[in-house]
Amino acid sequence: MNNALMVKKRFFRPDEVAELLLITKRTVYRMVHDGRLSGVDLTQRPWRIPRNAVLGLFPLDSLSQEHCPLS
């Protein structure tokens, strides 16, 4: 996924979050279900995870423009 697209998107699919965080899609679902990551359940489509929920996993001082493709 390219950086320009990541900055524009407000919501991500679980597979996109997994790619960003370098974890498995199953771990993303586990994080949503246990409350570590907020998500929106769309009945006919996969969950959607807000960009702010992904950014919330990181300390604020580690989110500089040069290192974080989502900010």
Class of domain 3-57: mainly alpha
Query: What are residue 10's phi and psi, to 5 degrees?
Result: -95, -25
> How far apart, in Å, do the first and last CA atoms of the chain sit?
15
pTM over the 0.85 mark: no
**Is-contact 48 42, C-beta < 8 A?**
yes
pLDDT per residue as tens digits for the range 9-56: 899 999 999 998 999 999 999 999 999 999 988 777 778 999 999 988
pLDDT over threshold 90, residue 61: no
**Domain boundaries of the chain, sorted by first residue:** 3-57
In total, the chain counts a number of residues equal to 71
